[in-house]
Structure 1
Amino acid sequence: MNIHAIKSIYRFEMARWFRTLAQSVISPVLSTSLYFVVFGSAIGSRMQAIDGVSYAAFIIPGLVMLSLLGESISNASFGIYMPKWAGTIYELLSAPVSWIETVIGYVGAAATKSVCLGLLILATARIFVPYEISHPFWMLGFLVLTAITFSLFGFVIGVWATDFQKLQIVPMLVVTPLTFLGGSFYSISMLPPIWQKITLFNPVVYLVSGFRWSFYGVSDLNPIVSFGATLCFLAACLTAVWWVFKTGYRLKV
């Protein structure tokens, strides 16, 4: 294992993140704070508790996931797209660095950024809403696992994209709608029976449900099922990344 190569990629990506803190950290935290103000304080005070949890506290896991998924994809996709765009990807491909080391460097940095952002949003939420974490170990586990999974997904998107516009297509038109429809702001038990079944095809439902269980001990789905579904998506993303490097898809052209 080439530790020096991993450190170099990781440090480069983290340095780029620190240079754009206003865009990478401050902006999503402020945006999420607005959700807490509007949905938590203004609307939440007029809504009934869900599964014994106040509405303002109920939406916290969903809002964290909303930011976490978007930032994981964005950080990883932009990180690998820029070397492609600048042409420096060929230097990396010709260096004595395996695809595993490359992925660990890029995805590790993207996941680190996302986890830090998620923890910062949780700290910010404490200002607006009192909440407790029933299973802190599982909360951190779901947080890290989700960040790694969607950073891998973002890495694949960055390889697939041929221009800057395509970097935003999947997050804006696919992931964000799925997150809003994945129980971030409501319990799927509140939906009609037919829509409850349809919602189960949304992978984000399992992420939000498992993450919410780690906070309050209540969830729409069995947390073991949620954890297993996340692992399956992780395996699918790893397979896609392996195939990209094996075939050189949009890397060696």
Structure 2
Amino acid sequence: MNWIAILAIYRFEMARTFRTIFQSILSPVISTSLYFVVFGAAIGSRIAEVEGISYGSFIVPGLIMLTVMTQAISVASFGIYFPKFIGTIYEILSAPVNFIEIVIGYVGAAATKALMIGVIILATATFFVEVRIEHPVWMVAFLVLTCISFALMGFIIGIWARNFEQLQLVPLLVVTPLVFLGGSFYSITMLPEFWQKVTLFNPVVYLISGFRWSFFGMADVAVGASFAAIALFTGLCLAVIWWIFRTGWRIRN
């Protein structure tokens, strides 16, 4: 394993992040505050509790997951797309670096930034509501796996995209709606029985449910199913990336 190459890619991507560190920190803090004002105050005044948990506290895991997923995708997709756009991707491909080291460098940097923002949102939430974490180890595990898996997804999108518009297509039209419809700001048990069954086909439900369980000890689906879902998604993304580098799809042409 060429750790020097991995570190070089990782440091280069993180340097791009730290050049906009003020924006990276300020943006999630403001967004989190607005969510608590809108959802916590407006909706929370009508929904006092959800299964014994105050509504303001209940939305914290969903809010973290929403931001972490979108950030991991956007950072990873731009990180690999830009070298394609300016042509420096061929320098990386011709260097004595295999695809595993390339993926670790880019995905590791994207996952790190997403994880940082997730921690910032969690810290910001404590100023508005009481946040308890019943299973901290599982919370960290779910958060890290989500950052990695969606950074891998972003890496795939960055290779697939032919222009800057396509970079935003999947996060805006697919991921964000799935998160909002996946029980991020409500429990799916609040839905009619038919829609509860339909919602179970949304993969994001399993991620948010498992993450919320690590906070409050309550889940809409079995915790084992949540962990299996994120592990399966991570494995699928790795398989797709392996196929991309094996065939050179949208990299060598």
Specify the TM-score bucket, using the shorter chain as the normaliser: over 0.9
Aligned pairs, number: 253
**Normalised TM-score (structure 2):** 0.98
Conserved in 1, the CA contact under 8 Å of 2:28 and 2:120?
Answer: no
**Normalised TM-score (structure 1):** 0.98
The aligned counterpart of 1:56 is: 56
Conserved in 1, the CA contact under 8 Å of 2:203 and 2:229?
Answer: yes
Give deviations 1:145-172, integer Å, cap 9, x for gaps: 0000000000000000000000000000
Structure 1: segments with no counterpart, 5+ residues: none
Conserved in 2, the CA contact under 8 Å of 1:178 and 1:204?
Answer: yes
The aligned counterpart of 1:143 is: 143
Aligned identity (percent) is 64
Give deviations 1:112-150, integer Å, cap 9, x for gaps: 000010011000000011111000110000000000000
Mapping 1:95-244, distance limit 5 Å: 95-244=95-244
**How far 1:24 moved relative to its partner?**
3.1
**How far 1:192 moved relative to its partner?**
1.0
Conserved in 2, the CA contact under 8 Å of 1:6 and 1:104?
Answer: yes
Using the alignment, how far apart are the partners of 2:141 and 2:40 within structure 1?
Answer: 26
The aligned counterpart of 1:46 is: 46
**Is structure 2 residue 14 aligned with structure 1 residue 14?**
yes
Supply the AA of the counterpart residue of 2:83: P
CA RMSD in angstroms, aligned pairs only: 0.9
Conserved in 2, the CA contact under 8 Å of 1:40 and 1:129?
Answer: no
The aligned counterpart of 2:250 is: 250
Structure 2: segments with no counterpart, 5+ residues: none
Using the alignment, how far apart are the partners of 1:23 and 1:116 within structure 2?
Answer: 13
Using the alignment, how far apart are the partners of 2:28 and 2:244 within structure 1?
Answer: 30
Give deviations 1:84-130, integer Å, cap 9, x for gaps: 00100000000000000000000000000000100110000000111
